[in-house]
């Protein structure tokens, strides 16, 4: 770990908030040592904001408003009390056909709306097998305009599969990602790891120099396990 403040993101995807999320000892609330950000469905954003969680949107369109049935925009998300937004999650890239250009527009709109974007990048299993990881990441990163963003390296083959990247492999990819960032912000930008992160592997992942936090899906829906991950993350902060 480094001087960069650790960020633990709970991506609840299309699930209701887990039982006990709002209990007195909830691990989902703002924390003194770690940036804990909750990404509920759009329907649950208001309740999480009211409970004093730091909240992000799982997705929003770049357009400020318009005839986009079923969607929400960055400014609406900010008005609802969100502070962060995920851009380019692989479930959006692959399930909704979002391209690098779409993700770039979302990042610009997010920054304009005062939201902090978490930009997801990562290769598929096929690309990994073809040894294209670096080329894929290079292209995905080059598409994003320079700005104050957090990156999330999420190898698609590791998401929801239980197949976590080994900490050493993740570290080498994170170091590669960092080498591509503009020199002025290279040391300051956070790079999260996502893909079957859980309480068992969190410590070894967070020990790596260039892993600045975790984007957690499945394990974030289990308050006790997420609480354990938070305790591990907090133990790394001076």
Contact code string over 92-121 relative to ligand PGA, x by CB under 6 A: ------------------------------
Selected binder of ligand PGA within 217, 226, 228, 232 (CB under 6 A): 217
**116 catalytically annotated:** no
Chain centre to alpha carbon of residue 153: 8
Selected binder of ligand PGA within 216, 229, 230, 232 (CB under 6 A): 216
- Residue whose CB is less far from ligand PGA, 10 or 75: 10
* Kind plus residue range of the DSSP H or E element containing 159: none
DSSP tag of 43: G
228 touching ligand PGA, by CB under 6 A: no
Nearest approach, Cβ of residue 85 and ligand PGA (Å)? 14
**204 catalytically annotated:** no
Helices (H), 36-166: 45-50, 74-79, 90-95, 100-112, 125-129, 133-142
Count of residues near ligand PGA by CB under 6 A: 13
Q: How many CA atoms lie within 13 A of 207 on its CB side?
A: 8
195 touching ligand PGA, by CB under 6 A: yes
Strand locations in the chain, DSSP E? Answer: 7-11, 35-39, 54-57, 84-87, 116-121, 150-153, 191-194, 213-216
* Kind plus residue range of the DSSP H or E element containing 179: helix 167-180
Give the Cα separation of 154 and 167 in Å (integer).
Answer: 13
Q: Which residue is associated with the tokens 């001087």?
A: 3
- Residue whose CB is less far from ligand PGA, 166 or 185: 166
194 touching ligand PGA, by CB under 6 A: yes
Active-site position among 91, 154, 225, 228:
154
201 touching ligand PGA, by CB under 6 A: no
Helices (H) and strands (E) in the chain, counts: 9, 8
Selected binder of ligand PGA within 1, 215, 229, 232 (CB under 6 A): 215
* Kind plus residue range of the DSSP H or E element containing 230: helix 223-235
Q: With CB under 6 A as the contact rule, which of the stretches 60-68, 99-107, 141-149, 192-200 interacts with ligand PGA?
A: 192-200
218 touching ligand PGA, by CB under 6 A: yes
145 touching ligand PGA, by CB under 6 A: no
The values of phi and psi at residue 106, to 5°, are -60, -40
150 touching ligand PGA, by CB under 6 A: no
165 touching ligand PGA, by CB under 6 A: no
Chain contacts with ligand PGA (rule: CB under 6 A)? 11, 154, 159-160, 194-197, 215-219
> Which residues form the catalytic set?
89, 154
């Amino acid at each position: 770990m480094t001087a960069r403040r650790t960020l633990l993101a709970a991506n609840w995807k299309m699930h209701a908030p887990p039982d006990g999320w709002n209990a007195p000892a909830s691990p989902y609330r703002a924390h003194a040592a770690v940036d804990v950000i909750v990404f509920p469905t759009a329907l649950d954003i208001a309740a999480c904001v009211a409970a004093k969680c730091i909240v992000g949107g799982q997705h929003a369109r770049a357009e400020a408003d318009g005839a986009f049935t079923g969607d929400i925009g960055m400014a609406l998300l900010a008005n609802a009390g969100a502070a962060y937004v995920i851009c380019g999650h692989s479930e959006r890239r692959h399930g909704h056909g979002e391209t690098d250009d779409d993700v770039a527009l979302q990042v610009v709109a997010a920054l304009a709306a005062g939201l902090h974007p978490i930009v997801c990048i990562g290769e598929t299993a096929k690309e990994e097998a073809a040894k294209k990881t670096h080329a894929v990441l290079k292209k995905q990163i080059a598409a994003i305009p320079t700005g104050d963003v957090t990156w999330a390296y999420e190898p698609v083959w590791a998401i929801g599969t239980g197949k976590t990247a080994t900490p050493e492999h993740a570290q080498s990819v994170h170091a590669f990602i960092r080498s591509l960032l503009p020199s002025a912000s290279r040391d300051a930008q956070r790079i999260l790891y996502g893909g079957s992160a859980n309480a068992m592997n969190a410590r070894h992942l967070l020990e790596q120099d260039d892993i600045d936090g975790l984007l957690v899906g499945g394990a974030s829906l289990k308050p006790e396990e997420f609480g354990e991950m938070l305790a591990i993350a907090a133990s790394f902060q001076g």
